[in-house]
Amino acid sequence: MRRKILSLLLAVAMVFSLAVTAHAEETEEKTMDGQIVILHTNDVHGAIAGYAKVAALKDAYEAKGAYVLLMDAGDFIQGDPTVSVSEGATAVELMNMAGYDVVSMGNHEFDYGYENMKTLAATAEFPIVDANVLYNGKVAFEDNVVFTAPDGTKIGVFGLDTPETATKAHPAKIQGVTFLAEDKLFDCAKKQVAALEAEGCDYIVCLGHLGIDDESTGNRSIDLLKKVSGIDVFIDGHSHSTLGEVTAAAEAAGIAGTAVTSTGTKLENVGVVTINGESISATVTALADLTAEDADIAARAAAIQKEIDDDYGTVFAKTEVALNGEKDPGNRTEETNLGDLICDALVWGAKKNGETVDAAVTNGGGIRASIAAGNITKKDINTVLPFGNTLGIVKVTGAELLEALEASTYCTPAAIGGFPQVSGIEFTVDTTVAYDQGDLYPGSTYYGPKSIQRVTIETVGGKAFDPKATYSIATNDFMAAGGDTYYAFAAASVNYDLGIPMDEVVMDYITTELKGVVTAEAYGEPAGRITVELPFENPFADVAETSAYYDGILWAVEEGITTGRTETTFVPGENCTEANILTFLWRANGEPAAETTENPFGEAVSADAYYYKAALWAFEKKMIDETFVPNTACTRAQAVYFMWMAAGSPDDAAAASFTDVAADADYAAAVNWAVAQEVTKGTGDGTTFSPENVCTRGQIVTFLYRADSTAEEAAA
């Protein structure tokens, strides 16, 4: 292969391409003779109006003398009624007209089944290459194709589809189809590179619908490029990433020698890879900046759009609020009002059809668009729910439901398509706890939980959760068949499909149950069914992660024991008063109410003071008496004495070995207890306690944190 120098030009728009597009009809000057231009798209998702500009751009480059190849990296037959109603036929028709030379498939190419895709392939005037997609063990479509430029330069192109298709497509619609993943995916790519090199290809391009999302780790483009060399251009898809995002990800992963590019989604941009001698440049051109269009394609796209608008454009309801259909933050990371609405509709629809159900679950990845406040059309609902899914019922045990929710939130707060939107279920995800990964689910890229660590279900159907109970869950047929992370649903003892389209259920619910109006009262905000507990982030500029007080300070703030001196400072070295210490201790003990109603301290303590309730509690616990002076500096000895008294004054700890704590000191038993409870480790080299030193803010919260940790370990 000839030596090539890669030059990634991270331009948002390519000035030259704009000039070519605008003036192609005005000049026949062949300024790009001998150059190769690869135009590429990905994740078009039904943005069919843009194909007319893509075709004009291809014509413009060819008019300049370039050898032009037009490619797509998948997800072109689904996402909008203009293509989904025909199950992709209209997309392929327009791509034929636009002159696509080669495409690879995305996971959504299988939304309508393998057989449908084979039918579309028969009508396509371009090869479909996906080397890792097998049917009954053999390559299902084509693995690669070679193009030869007029000067004899050979460009080899092979395709790869995300292995996640195995769980993102309806399992019943892809029987016999397998998607090579991880090491097998990498080996497949290596074989493709070797085969294309053997054919004498000068440049090798991978159309890889793999993406860079964390959810796809192990099968991402950057994972593959770490293992596979020899790919000159990697045109990525799946994660809807921009050129800048995939380039940054590649650089962070240490990828060198490959131009990695992507165009976002919905034809916001067209990718332009220019091969000129020994250099390769990758840029994108914003579609909105292009003016020339192919008239025939524009007319056909407009006709398709009109057919959909005539059928789907009728207003049938309205919403007083915007309904959140976003991905992240949104339906793949947290509860949304649109997720609530859809799941409420599933429960209602199931009951309307004679089913007794406790709750509903649908996957956030199946919610594909938002609905703005105002009128709602059939097209709006079909765009939100474009997959043609139907209403299904599964009956699972509480333990199986818990497994499903644990698996479907394994990477939360990172986005995951399986994130559960629910109705009739209240649950909490503790993201501070690691997912206990178990075995790989059969035929999946997801791992089941070895144990339940992150999810707690509070209620199902308005009643306390019971892991041994059997629950009837309304869901969609995709999840009932084990799609995404829901293997537990596929293994359910009872599992059947009512055959009613989800979008029709939602429209019926809005028109019948909601009387045609989605009100702010009902769906203005998420209903509070899902709690996502996030890790506490350190807000304090003066508390380094290496500080001895770091864990104690973050714990104290998270537990509400203190808020810090300001929003951005904690001042860990500031001396504490007795009022400070007692208030921290009182809060750490749950802010218990004192029985004392009269102020025993006289004028020395105001009933309006922030520490007043803490002082009353401490007085009842005999930590202090009526002579309490709140602003007295609190020594380290006094601080552990207060903690010892709050713990009930235990006097059975072995004597500490501090050289500066006398055995007969008033606070000796408290210090002994503090050492036994691992509250303190002493000062300096650990041989002294420094009892007369004033206790600082950092020290007291650390003492309390250690005491709490010891108590938790003892309870466990």
Q: What does the pLDDT average to over 525-545?
A: 92
Q: What does the pLDDT average to over 625-648?
A: 95
Residue 5 has pLDDT above 90, yes or no: no
pLDDT of residue 299: 98
CA atoms within 13 A on the CB side of 147: 21
Tens digits of residue pLDDT in 84-126: 889 999 999 999 999 999 999 999 999 889 999 999 999 999 9
Q: What confidence tier does 397 reach under pLDDT thresholds 50, 70, 90?
A: very high
- Tokens of residue 586, six digits: 């009182």
Q: How many CB atoms lie within 10 A of CB 419?
A: 34
The set of residues, in sequence order, having a beta carbon less than 8 Å from that of 556 and lying 6+ positions away, is: 562, 584, 701, 704, 705
pLDDT of residue 716: 63
Q: What does the pLDDT average to over 601-629?
A: 93
- Would you say 133 and 104 are in contact if contact means Cβ atoms under 8 Å apart? no
Q: What does the pLDDT average to over 376-384?
A: 94
Q: What confidence tier does 13 reach under pLDDT thresholds 50, 70, 90?
A: very low
Q: What does the pLDDT average to over 377-390?
A: 91
Cα–Cα distance between 135 and 127 in angstroms, integer? Answer: 17
Q: What confidence tier does 340 reach under pLDDT thresholds 50, 70, 90?
A: very high
Residue 556 is which amino acid? A
Cα–Cα distance between 395 and 406 in angstroms, integer? Answer: 17
- Verify cis geometry, omega within 30 degrees of 0, for the bond prior to 467: no
Q: Which helix (H) or strand (E) holds 472?
A: strand 470-476
Kindly state the percentage of the chain with pLDDT values over 90: 82
Cα–Cα distance between 207 and 224 in angstroms, integer? Answer: 13
Phi first, then psi: give them for residue 378, nearest 5 degrees.
-60, -35
Q: What does the pLDDT average to over 413-429?
A: 97
Q: What does the pLDDT average to over 170-183?
A: 91
Q: How many CB atoms lie within 10 A of CB 521?
A: 8
Distances (CA, A) of 27 to 31, 64, 550, 573, 715: 10, 8, 68, 75, 82
Looking at every residue in the chain, the average pLDDT score rounds to 92
pLDDT of residue 247: 95
Distances (CA, A) of 678 to 97, 153, 164, 473: 75, 73, 48, 48
Residues 234-248: b if buried by 16+ CB within 10 A, e if exposed: bbbbbbbbbbeebbe
CA atoms within 13 A on the CB side of 100: 27
Q: What does the pLDDT average to over 524-542?
A: 93
Question: E-strand spans in 55-95?
Answer: 67-72
Give which of 36, 31, 45, 100 is closest to 74, Cα–Cα. Answer: 45
Cα–Cα distance between 129 and 160 in angstroms, integer? Answer: 8
The set of residues, in sequence order, having a beta carbon less than 8 Å from that of 15 and lying 6+ positions away, is: none
The set of residues, in sequence order, having a beta carbon less than 8 Å from that of 83 and lying 6+ positions away, is: 46, 48, 76, 77, 90, 91
Residue 75 has pLDDT above 80, yes or no: yes
pLDDT of residue 592: 94
pLDDT of residue 705: 95
Per-residue H/E/C for 291-320: CCCCHHHHHHHHHHHHHHHHHHCCEEEEEC
Q: What confidence tier does 28 reach under pLDDT thresholds 50, 70, 90?
A: low
For the ranges 168-177, 531-540, 642-651, the one whose mean pLDDT is highest: 642-651
Give which of 243, 231, 141, 139 is closest to 190, Cα–Cα. Answer: 231
Tens digits of residue pLDDT in 236-264: 999 999 999 999 999 999 999 999 999 99
- Would you say 478 and 170 are in contact if contact means Cβ atoms under 8 Å apart? yes
The set of residues, in sequence order, having a beta carbon less than 8 Å from that of 578 and lying 6+ positions away, is: 624, 628, 629, 630, 631, 632, 633, 634, 638, 642
Helix axes 295-312 and 89-98, enclosed angle (nearest 10): 160
**Total residues belonging to the chain:** 716
- Would you say 589 and 708 are in contact if contact means Cβ atoms under 8 Å apart? no
Tens digits of residue pLDDT in 273-316: 999 977 999 999 999 999 999 999 999 999 999 999 888 888 99
Question: Which domains can be identified in the chain, with CATH numbers?
Answer: 5-21+32-306 (3.60.21.10), 314-533 (3.90.780.10), 550-715 (no CATH)
pLDDT of residue 507: 96
pLDDT of residue 536: 80
